[in-house]
Structure 1
Amino acid sequence: MLDDFMPLVANVLLQVGYAGMNITSKLALESGMKPLVLVAYRQIFATIAIAPLAFFLERKTRPKITMPILFQIFLCSMTGATANQVFYFVGLNYTTATVACALNNVLPAATFVLAAIFRQEAMGIKKASGVAKVLGTLICVGGAMLLSFYHGHIVGMGESKVHWNYADRMSSNDSSGGTTGSNSFLGPFLVMASAVAWAIWFIIQGQTSKNFPAPYTCTTIMCFMASIECTIIGIFSEHKPSAWSLSSPMRLIASLYAGIICNAVAFCVMSWCIQKRGPLYVSVFSPLLLVIVAILSWALLREKLYVGTVAGSFLIVGGLYAVLWGKDKEVKQIKGGERGEGKVEATKAGGVDNDDLELQLQPPLKGSQLGG
């Protein structure tokens, strides 16, 4: 029961962490921080944070690091760290946090397609579990689009009692012609490109986790490689030393938060979850980020909640549970098949009567696939 529950809790907490990153990073960009500089600092702080854990927790259990393993980790750094984060933060600089979160929800669909192509996920459309995964993914993405691009009437929830003076000042500066611009094509395009890069990372990481089951060491090497890659890109883009200054508190907070929480912690947890439940299970939680961002934006930034927001949130949660149900049912069917094969082998060895075996292999008549 605990093994089924912990991946669910871990993925929900990850989305809470990513929601905080979207808010702090957007405020840092509005204060004048360059997105490529933020990405470079994120990788550097992530490497510093995760390296001690990798050394102390896996020094006795760490498998041998071979050249093929290093090449796989290099591919992970190029896709899941460098390409994903460079595209996302540059895109975030040219659009709003809500649109960025919404368009990032092409991730489950892209991951499902790629996982099916590389045979890490079975389509299984002739089974209820496969239909639930396909429809659930489509419902999640549809709900995300509805939440972002349709407003409708304002939901009467009143105003938040929480007031963040710094956010109020940044919002005021932005509304009066702030530091960041907008591009209705470039921003969304880059965010979608980041989602595709992240989906590729899920596929590569799924194989890397099997070949090198040491998530802390893998994450440390990946972040170290990405820090070199992103720093080189950042230096070519921003030559002035002032652009790399962390004297502003929001720049420092955004860099530390993104590096420690959303890189060091997040990549370790996601690697562990991929190893336990597969890439699709992890990626499908990303639509929850929109719901959390909507709540935090209302509470901290005093944004209004609309009918489209509420309706989209219900669709996202409904699609999420559909995919979880399908994935859980599929896992139990696989485990049941393995147990059935074991009983058949035991029957051949011990001479159990076929009628008795048929009774043993009957599935239970009731029981929730989600609740265990």
Structure 2
Amino acid sequence: MVLAQVGYTFLYFITGASFNHGMNPHVYITYRETVAGVVMLPFAYFLERNIRPKMTLALFLEIFVLSFLGVGLTLNMYFASLNFTSPDFLASMVNTIASITFVIAVVLRLEIVDHQNPGGLAKVIGTMLSLAGVLTMTLYKGPVLQNLWHPLIHIKRSNNIHEEWLKGSILTVASCITWSIGYIMKVSVGVLVLASYFCCC
């Protein structure tokens, strides 16, 4: 888990530098998802073609909406916000996705919060600590650290910082919300797949 987070952090910096050198975020997402689809297609076809249910219109629409919200819209807003904010802001905001998912699930009555149960209390406390940590990382300005060597990546900054940060923050929060909705939809798509699989059996 720690290595995955470190890898994602480096990915944010490298992607931000690539975008600053002229790479279009929408093209990047298209290539990224195309490569992922091509890599996963043989595994899905050869290993799971006999155990998955047949594609129905309802299942196709659920997968389409899930792909649109959970991947397409989320990543487009996410990488667009990288042009207006900083990689460390994005890296800290991504940590709110679990908390946002929990809050949305509670609002939609998919999750029940039981204050008497230690598990329910732990979820509430964990959500509050996660949000407090993100707010601390985002708002706290500590002492400036000096580089010991020349930086490998240069990220250009515009003069109109306030307006760009406002745009970037809105895009980042919207991206985290759609990401959370995507997670919740994955559960419903999984339930629909299981239900149609058992109906076919």
When the two chains are superposed, the root-mean-square deviation of aligned CA atoms in Å is: 2.6
How many Å separate the matches in 1 of 2:28 and 2:160?
A: 17
Asked which structure has the greater CA Rg, the reply is 1
Q: Which one is further off, 202-211 or 117-126? A: 117-126
Q: Give the structure 1 partner of residue 198 of structure 2.
A: none
1:22 is aligned to 2:12 = yes
Q: The residue matched to 2:90 in structure 1 has which SS?
A: helix
Q: Give the structure 1 partner of residue 120 of structure 2.
A: 130
Aligned residue runs from structure 1 range 82-93, under 5 A: 82-93=72-83
1:32-75 CA-to-partner distances (Å, cap 9, x unmatched) read 11222212222211111111111121022122221111111011
1:188 is aligned to 2:169 = yes
Q: Which one is further off, 141-150 or 92-101? A: 141-150
Q: Give the structure 2 partner of residue 53 of structure 1.
A: 43
TM-score by length of 2: 0.83
Q: CA deviation at 1:196?
A: 0.4
Q: CA deviation at 1:204?
A: 0.7
When residues 202 and 57 of structure 1 are mapped into structure 2, their CA distance, relative to the original with a 3 A threshold, is: same
Unaligned runs of 5+ in 1: 1-10, 214-372
2:96–2:130 contact (8 Å) kept in structure 1: no
Q: CA deviation at 1:209?
A: 1.5
1:93–1:181 contact (8 Å) kept in structure 2: no
One-letter identity of the residue aligned with 1:186: K
Q: CA deviation at 1:186?
A: 0.2
TM-score by length of 1: 0.47
How many Å separate the matches in 1 of 2:9 and 2:23?
A: 19
Unaligned runs of 5+ in 2: 195-201
Q: CA deviation at 1:148?
A: 2.7
When residues 76 and 17 of structure 1 are mapped into structure 2, their CA distance, relative to the original with a 3 A threshold, is: farther
Q: CA deviation at 1:14?
A: 4.2
1:67 is aligned to 2:48 = no
Specify which of 23, 28, 40 is matched with residue 30 of structure 2.
40
Q: The residue matched to 1:122 in structure 2 has which SS?
A: coil
> What percent identity do the matched residue pairs reach?
29
Q: Give the structure 2 partner of residue 208 of structure 1.
A: 189
Q: CA deviation at 1:89?
A: 0.4
4+ residue runs over 4 A deviation: 11-14
Q: Give the structure 1 partner of residue 141 of structure 2.
A: 151
Q: The residue matched to 1:196 in structure 2 has which SS?
A: helix
One-letter identity of the residue aligned with 1:38: Y
